[in-house]
Amino acid sequence: MTKRVINVMTALGLALSLGACSQNTKNEGPDYADDEAMNVIGQGLSKRFAIVDTDETGAAVVKKGVQAEIDTDSPLKNRQFEDSKLHENVISYINVLDESMDVLANYQYQSAEYYEHWEDVYDKRTQILKTFVDKYGLKLQGEDQETLDELVANGASAAKERNEKETIDKMISSTQFEKKDDGYGNFTYTAVIENTSDLSFENVNVVLGLYDADGVKQESYAHVKTWAPGEKVKFEAYSNCDATEIKPMVDYFNVAD
């Protein structure tokens, strides 16, 4: 009887122990990276700053700095996140770092083409960093924080410019221009467009892609000096192209302060 009782108690104890382990594992849940992500991003930035802030210059130093960030941040790609938007931003940031390496690999360092593409990835990168700072509390220390502040300031400016461009592009690209036959092979293309935004535009130049029946494209330009919020203006262009298809696109604009 004593032996049987001991065996039963041992089995019961083992079952309880296994149950407790199972319960603890269940309570721990997934190993989310949300609380670590900004620390990792910050480490990557500090490593990059330390490399590029030396007396060395040239493409090799820039590549080394970008690679240091990629090596630090890449493990986050395979981590689980509870906040799906944070995860999306982290992946986007790592992708932009990869794009930076592509620019360094594909264009001669400091050439006109290099600067054009580098500025694009720089703007995208700083906009994401601004999101990390504003929404997820990214912070660094000392001079690294000062550098981050400069990057975030660029991100704010880039985001503002992107919003302005997207706003005017949407109004122009959705507009249908009307064609008027002026005779002698000349045509006038016009559209009255209302500024439905809260932005005051100046020196708006619109290029019309005019495609004739054979699909041959010509271009003509319509211009207005000022375009205030709520104001309707007439965009008018002239051409000898008898267009069967018209594609308007913003060529240039300013936004009034």
Domains of the chain (ranges, CATH numbers):
34-169 (no CATH), 175-255 (2.60.40.3230)
State the Cα–Cα distance between residues 152 and 229, nearest whole angstrom. Answer: 29
> In the structure encoding, which two tokens stand for residue 242, read together?
């008898």
Residues of the chain above pLDDT 90, percent? 82
Closest CA to 241 of 224, 216, 207: 216
Angle at 94 between CA 92 and CA 96, to 5 degrees: 70
> What average pLDDT score do residues 25-30 get?
63
pTM: 0.71
pLDDT tens digits, one per residue of 137-182: 999 999 999 999 999 999 988 888 989 999 999 999 999 999 999 9
